[in-house]
């Protein structure tokens, strides 16, 4: 006996779906990312490298807390988001110069995670901190995002360890981090800024981890003695390379 039920289903699915031949797809922005990093400079080059805390606020109707029930079964999540800091490309450029290669060598855009890609979609694994419900709206707290403040969010999916954790996968190794030193003056700045509540206690650790990633472009990472500035919350962190380490020289409050 060959059950009709199945064949009905098969026949249904055998019809080519109507939208197969679409040349474009439009999807809703379901929310926005909120982070102490308001600028591109300083954002870690990949997710999960710095335990920076941030959150996603969703827009209606996607902020319905029901849509997040069960998410606590997972420790990590995928976030699909928009590279909204780069201008939309009018023409497809098949090759990019990734910072990992010092910005000189060109490789295919589909062989990179570069922001300059047709979809404009970024993919990041982050740690799930918690779901908070405020005024019956879900707010997703995450750790380790490599997205700027304001980033439009397209999707949240659980990280499935047995599928997504490919232990035999081969690719490039994790880049090394630099030692970071805090100058006496910067130590004083931190103390004052924590005392007057401009920064919280753990912000100092996060700032150290962010600088340790050396946010400068690869082609400038050998430059000594040039002061660079990373904005974090309402402060600018000025740092300089000296020998093999990066030294935080001072932290300046930014005028609001």
Tell me which residues in 184-223 interact with its own copies (CB under 8 A): none
The CA-to-CA distance between both ends of the chain, in Å, stands at 75
CB of 201 to its own copies, least distance (A): 25
Among 53, 62, 208, 221, binds its own copies (CB under 8 A): 62
Among 66, 184, 243, 244, binds its own copies (CB under 8 A): 66
3-class state of residue 31 by DSSP: strand
CB of 124 to its own copies, least distance (A): 9
Distance CA 68, CA 55 (A): 14
Which C-beta is closer to its own copies: that of 22 or that of 201? 22
CB of 78 to its own copies, least distance (A): 6
State which H helix or E strand residue 202 sits in.
helix 201-212
CB atoms within 10 A of CB 204: 19
Closest CA to 128 of 69, 187, 73, 190: 73
Cα Dmax for the chain: 83
Closest CA to 86 of 18, 184, 21, 152: 152
Residue appearing with tokens 């912000």: 203
Q: Is 53:130 a contact under the CB 8 Å cutoff?
A: no
Tell me how many residues contact its own copies (CB under 8 A): 100
Choose the stretch contacting its own copies; rule: CB under 8 A; options: 155-163, 179-187, 193-201, 202-210. 155-163
Distance CA 114, CA 255 (A): 33
Residue 224 makes contact with its own copies by CB under 8 A: no
Distance CA 228, CA 112 (A): 27
CB of 253 to its own copies, least distance (A): 15
Binding to its own copies (CB under 8 A) within 117-136 occurs at 117-121, 123, 125
Residue 32 makes contact with its own copies by CB under 8 A: yes
Among 90, 135, 169, 197, binds its own copies (CB under 8 A): 169
Among 8, 51, 75, 188, binds its own copies (CB under 8 A): 75
CB of 252 to its own copies, least distance (A): 10
Residue 256 makes contact with its own copies by CB under 8 A: no
Residue 238 makes contact with its own copies by CB under 8 A: yes
Residue 165 makes contact with its own copies by CB under 8 A: yes
Closest CA to 28 of 157, 156, 152: 152
């Amino acid at each position: 006996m060959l059950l009709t039920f199945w064949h009905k289903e098969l026949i249904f699915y055998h019809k080519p779906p109507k939208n197969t031949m679409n040349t474009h797809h439009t999807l809703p922005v379901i929310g926005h990312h909120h982070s102490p990093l308001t600028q591109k400079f300083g954002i870690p080059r990949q997710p999960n490298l710095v335990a920076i805390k941030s959150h996603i606020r969703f827009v209606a109707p996607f902020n319905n807390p029901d849509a997040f029930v069960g998410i606590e079964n997972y420790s990590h999540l995928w976030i699909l988001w928009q590279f909204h800091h780069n201008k939309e490309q009018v023409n497809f450029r098949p090759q990019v110069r990734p910072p990992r290669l010092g910005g000189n060598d060109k490789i295919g855009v589909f062989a990179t995670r570069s922001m300059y890609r047709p979809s404009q979609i970024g993919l990041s694994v982050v740690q799930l901190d918690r779901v908070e419900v405020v005024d019956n709206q879900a707010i997703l707290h995450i750790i380790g995002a490599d997205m700027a403040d304001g980033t439009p969010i397209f999707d949240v999916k659980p990280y499935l360890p047995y599928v997504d954790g490919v232990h035999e996968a081969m690719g490039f190794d994790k880049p090394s981090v630099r030692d970071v030193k805090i100058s006496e003056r910067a130590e004083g700045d931190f103390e004052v800024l924590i005392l007057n509540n401009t920064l919280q206690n753990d912000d100092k650790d996060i700032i150290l981890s962010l600088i340790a990633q050396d946010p400068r472009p690869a082609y400038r990472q050998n430059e000594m003695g040039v002061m660079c500035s990373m904005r974090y919350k309402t402060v600018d962190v000025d740092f300089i390379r000296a020998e093999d380490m990066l030294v935080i020289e001072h932290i300046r409050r930014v005028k609001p």
